Each structure stands twice: as structure tokens, then as C-alpha cells.
Amino acid sequence: MALETLALDALDEKANEHFPGLLVRKDLLRRLRSAYSVPTFVIEFLLGKYCASTDATVIEQGLEFVRRNLSEKFVKPDEREIVKARIQQLGEYQVIDKVSAALHEHDNKYWAALHNISLDYVNIDEETIREHDRLLMGGIWAEITLRYDSTFRFRGATFPFFIERLKPIQLSTRSMTPVQEHRAAFTTEEWLDLLVRSLGLEPTHPYFSRRRKLLHVARLIPLVEKNYNLVELGPRGTGKSFVYQQISPYSHLVSGGQTTVAQMFVNLATGQRGLVALWDVVAFDEAAGVRFADKGGIQIMKNYMEDGTFSRGREVISAEGSVVLVGNLDGDVRTILRTSNLFYPMPKEMDTAFYDRLHAYLPGWEFEKTRDELYTSHFGFVSDYLAEVFHQLRKTSYVDLAERHFEFGPHVGGRDAKAVRKTVSGLIKLLHPDGNVTKDELQEYVEFALEMRRRVKEQLKKMGGLEYWDVSFIYIDRDSRAERYIVLPESGGGLIITGESLPPGSVYTVGTDPSERKLALFLIQTQVNPGSGRIIPLGHLSPVMKEALRAADAYLKAHIHDLGIDRDPRQSDFTVQAVNLNQAKEGAETAIAFFISLVSAILEKPVDPSTVIVGEMSVKGLLQRVDALPERLELAREAGGKRILVPSENKRDLADIPDELLNKLEPVLYTDPINAAIRAMRLE
């Protein structure tokens, strides 16, 4: 099939002007990948040698060389016996395959294995092992020269295959200097588009908003930032694992999630360092299945994710490998947020302390499934070269840049600030490898980084309760002192509180689940029927909620006339239900809401739409100050609340509420339960 002539656009021309010989048409890769099931960097290693040109004739000739190399050297599994015969007949034969090695203790000898042709017990010398230690940790793709020697016997058996020479397809000798020197010739948008094209995607497609481009590029941060911990959960088929399996030979993908402490960290028997010490990135595919055969593996991994060290025996070992967790998230994200948390598919062994080590949570649900129309036919960096640039960029750091112009708000804790700094540093390396970034660009990266970290904290809040309720992330411009509040896009739609009028007797409240130490949203609903003054609870009200309901009922019956109600509550039955909207086990601090629900039902007057009640009362109507007011207001806002009734005992706490949050809410103070009911239904 003849090569189509590409109409170069302005970015193609500029890129080829500044990076001659370092670019390749990405449609060539797709043409070859369909025929050869090898990683992207293997094919582009060859494309970079023979097809890095804008001349269609040169490209066509180069493609022929690449096809010939792959046809002659890349061995398919069903050709195993043919290759063995050729090695035997010719004495030497060159193949392209993935090769690994292992020490067989009973032989006291290293043996190599070629994966594609399932050729085991291949002789390999220890010098080659020492030169390429990643042979021992998953293996590497390489051009391998195999030699045949039928006279070699080991312990009475013949093992005739030898690795004579091994040339890894992963080490570029080309310098990253061109990237640093020529980045200034491109605008940030142009450079971002060039990176997206280097991933094989077409940034001019309408799908690629600025945000989606940033999200795709953010997948690369673990490749350029040491000890960076990233999670991405989302629908299937969006390319989550592609970057870590195909783009860089410095990344290792653990399929299925099964590993051991010896493989991941260090083998105490041999002293061999594990994956995190040998690879820039260790990515776990299907993260829900991450399992350590060794007890305590998750704990060791947790400690490593904190500071890049782990203890085995008496030794404390440092490593720089980033940890990436990718997996599937089924269902609508807003439904998940209403009923659960965004870590729900993950292993039970991973606790809140483990997740708190994550620097960023990429919203996988914002990526669409990959499809042909999203692929590019334009020029991008050869993966072999780009991977080497990423590897070299790990040696630099820009963690100090974020706070040159901005400072973090009080709720951005130590781990949060560390996460934001590393994310910002990674984005600068990718988008500004020369280190030249403007304040406006830096502000965009700070907001992006805060959002990615806040997504982690939001889930911890759902799982861990009040310990993680300080998620009101703001940052402050050092020059203007202007504050900006960070919101999560997924919390902006599909609201629980829609603003529509509810039937009389219905009221929203934010209570506390003491058993889980977390806040939760409840909908209290009451229906009045003729009767004898009974309270009939529906569902499974917890003891603490039943006590709150009894307090509300007693206060109503004692103060019914203070509300101007002539109806005797002892001639009515109240059927009461508390709908748990956040999977809490119980709900303390709900008596005020129960009282307002009873009053609203008996008056047949609805509570004002979008109103949420917070507060607690005693059986005598004494108001109690509530804790964690900023977090309660934030939960109410995220659910869709607009008007928040707050006990007057919390008046001073309103000063702690970020302005951006207050601007989206209408706090209303009440002085006693009756005043609360009047204000809830606007009876003033």
C-alpha cells in the first residue's frame, strides 16, 4: 500500500525545522503495529532510524527497511521451531524479542529466556547480567544475536543456545539538549500539541479541549518526576495502561497486580534490588487486583510511597521509581459519589493511610474510549528519543516554583503541599523543559495540581470521616493576596439537592456518624395522620437518631402554641423516616432537623427549597455548638444546598469559612428551635 502524502501543517513544519531526525509520522506506527505485536518504542526505534524525514520517498524506503527488519528479526510464537532450526543451521541468528534472565540456585547459573518464542535455558554470561540488571526484573526488548554450540553440555545435558550479543531497544544516545534549546521557539499551546501528537493523538480534533490535553499529558508525570504516586480509575478502553506499557522502556507494567516484596523491593536472599529501584515507573494494571504474596507487602509499599525508602532486614534502601495504579471504574461517577467513594474498586488491604500517599487522582471518566478519528497522522517525537528525554528530566526538579508566586491555604496540609509541588514540577518539566514558565501558566498548573490532590482528599473524607475533612483547598496570590477556591468538576452536576420544592415535612440536614467519624447528609421526612400522638419511625433509625427524634417530639408538644399552632399534636401520629444519603451508619446532631420536619408536616408548610439545617438541641431546646462547620457547609454546598441554617453558637466560626464558599451559600443564624423552624419555612 502506497504511503499517503501528508499535507504538513504549521506545527509539522516548525517541529521538523527545530528537531530534524527526531520526529516520525505517527500513522506509520499504526500501520506496523497491526502486523507486529511489539511495544510502540520497539517499532519507533526502527522508524527513528529509517523514517525520520519529511520526504515521502525517504519514508517509503525507510518503511521497507523497517518491515524487513521486523519480518526477519521479530519472531512470532508459531515460528519457534523455524528459528531454532535457522540458528542451528547458520550458527548465528539475530532476533528482536523480549529477553529476561534468572538465577537458578540449584545450578548456580544464570539462564536467559526469550519470551516470544518461548525459548528457555539460553546461556547468558554474568557480565551481560551486570550490564543490564533489568534482565532480572521483567526483562527488556532487545536485538539479540543467538549462537548455536551443540558441544556445550551442562550437568550431563545439552544446552546449545547462547546469547552472543545483546543490544537493548531502549537506550538512546541522543542528547536532550535540542529540547531544552529549541523549546522557546514554540508557544506553550504548540508544545502541548506536539506532546499530544507524540502520544499518537491529534490535538486539533474537537474532543481535545485544553483540559483534556493536560489530562493526557499528566499521565506522563510519573515518567519525569521521581517517586510520584498516581492513580487513575475510569472506563475501559481509554488508554490508561498504554503510556506505561508502550511509550517508554523505562516503565514496567505489572499486569494483574500480582507481585511479591522481593520482586517489588529487594530479594533478601540475593540482595537483588526490586522493580522500584530498577525502573522509572512501576505501574499496576487492573489495580483492583493488586496483591502481595507476602504478608505486610502493602505496608512496605505504603512506607515507600511516603518517602522513597523501605526497610528490609537492617538496611534502609532508597529508590526513585514512581508508583502508578490504573484500573476500571464502572458506573456513573456522580452516582458513585452519592453512594460510595472513588476508591471502591481497590483492594480492601489499602486503607486511608495508603491512599493519603497518592499525589494525584486523574479523573479517568473524563477520557473517552480511544477510536480511529482521535489518532494523528502528523509528526511527533520518536518514542525512543522522547523516553530518553523523560528519563533525563528526572534529574531536575521544579518543586520550589509553585510557591514563588502563590501560597497554599490553611487546609492544604503537609502531604497535600508536597503532592501539589511534585505535580507542578512534573508539568513544568513536560511543558517547559527549559524551566521558563510564566506566572499565568504556573497558576494553571497550581490549580490543576490542587484539584488532582483534592480528589484524593475528598475520597479520604468519605472513607475516614472527620480526620480528613479539611478539604477546603484555596491558594493565595502573593502579589494581589487574592484567594481562589478549588472545586472538583464531578461535584458540579447531578446534585442531590436540586432546588425543587419538597413536600411538607421534608428537610435536609448534615449530621455526624460517630462510629465512622465522618459527616453525612440526611433527608428527614415526616407525614402526619390522625392518631394519638405516636411517633412511628420507619426504616432502621439508629439509637442516637431515635433519641434525637424523642427530644424533638417532646419540645414540639411543650411549645406547640409558641408556634401559633392550634392543632393538638396528641391527636396526630407522626410517621418519620431518615433517608441516609451518604451511607452513614448513624446520624448524631439531627434533633433540630427532626423538630423542623415535625413542624413543617403539622403546618403543611414546606421548608424553603435548597435549605439545609445544621445544629443540635437538648430536650429543653438548648442549642449546642456544632464542630467542623466549614466541612458541614462544604458538604451541603456540594450536595446542592444554597441556604444553610446555623445555630447562633457558631457565629464566630463563620469567620473561618473561605470567601469563595460563603459566596455560594446563604448562611442564616437561628437563636432557638422555634426561630429555626420559622426561618426554615420563611414564616417571618
pLDDT digits (tens, 9 = 90+) for 184-232: 999 999 999 999 999 999 999 999 999 999 999 999 999 999 999 999 9
265-279, 346-360, 576-590, 609-623: range with lowest mean pLDDT: 576-590
Q: Does residue 158 sit in helix, strand or coil?
A: strand
Question: Quick check: 453 and 461 in contact, CB under 8 A?
Answer: no
Angle of helix 188-198 versus helix 414-431 axis, rounded to 10: 90
Lookup: cell for 235: 472506563
The DSSP secondary structure of 230-248, one letter per residue, reads: EEEEE-TTS-TTHIIIII-
pLDDT at 131 over 60: yes
245, burial (CB in 10 Å: exposed 0-12, middle 13-18, buried 19+): middle
HEC string for 480-520: CCCEEECCCHHHCCCCCCCCCCCCCCEEEEEEEECCCCEEE
Report d(CA 215, CA 427) in Å as an integer.
11
Cα-based distances in Å from 151 to 92, 351, 359: 15, 57, 56
Fold exhibited by the domain 506-680: Ribosomal Protein S5; domain 2 (3.30.230)
Q: 511527533: which residue's cell?
A: 380
Burial label, 654 (beta-carbon count in 10 A; 0-12, 13-18, 19+) = middle
Give tens-digit pLDDT for 140-166. 889 999 999 999 999 999 999 999 999
Reported residue count of the chain is 684
What's the pTM value of the predicted model, to 2 decimals?
Answer: 0.70
| 473 three-state secondary structure | coil
Task: Evaluate whether 175-383 and 506-680 have a shared fold.
Answer: no
| Tens digit of each residue's pLDDT (9 = 90 or more) over 298-325 | 899 999 999 999 887 678 889 999 999 9
Orientation angle between helical segments 56-73 and 26-33, nearest 10 degrees: 30
Fold of 175-383: Rossmann fold (3.40.50)
**What is the structure's pLDDT at 33?**
77
The residues spanned by each domain of the chain are 77-168, 175-383, 396-490, 506-680
pLDDT in tens, 477-516: 999 988 888 888 887 545 678 788 889 999 999 998 887 6
> Lowest mean pLDDT: which of 108-112, 249-253, 390-394?
249-253
pLDDT band at 1 (very low <50, low <70, confident <90, very high): very low
Residue 59: predicted pLDDT: 85
* Predicted confidence band of residue 465 (pLDDT cuts 50, 70, 90): low
Residue 259 to residues 99, 240, 293, Cα–Cα distance (Å):
19, 20, 7
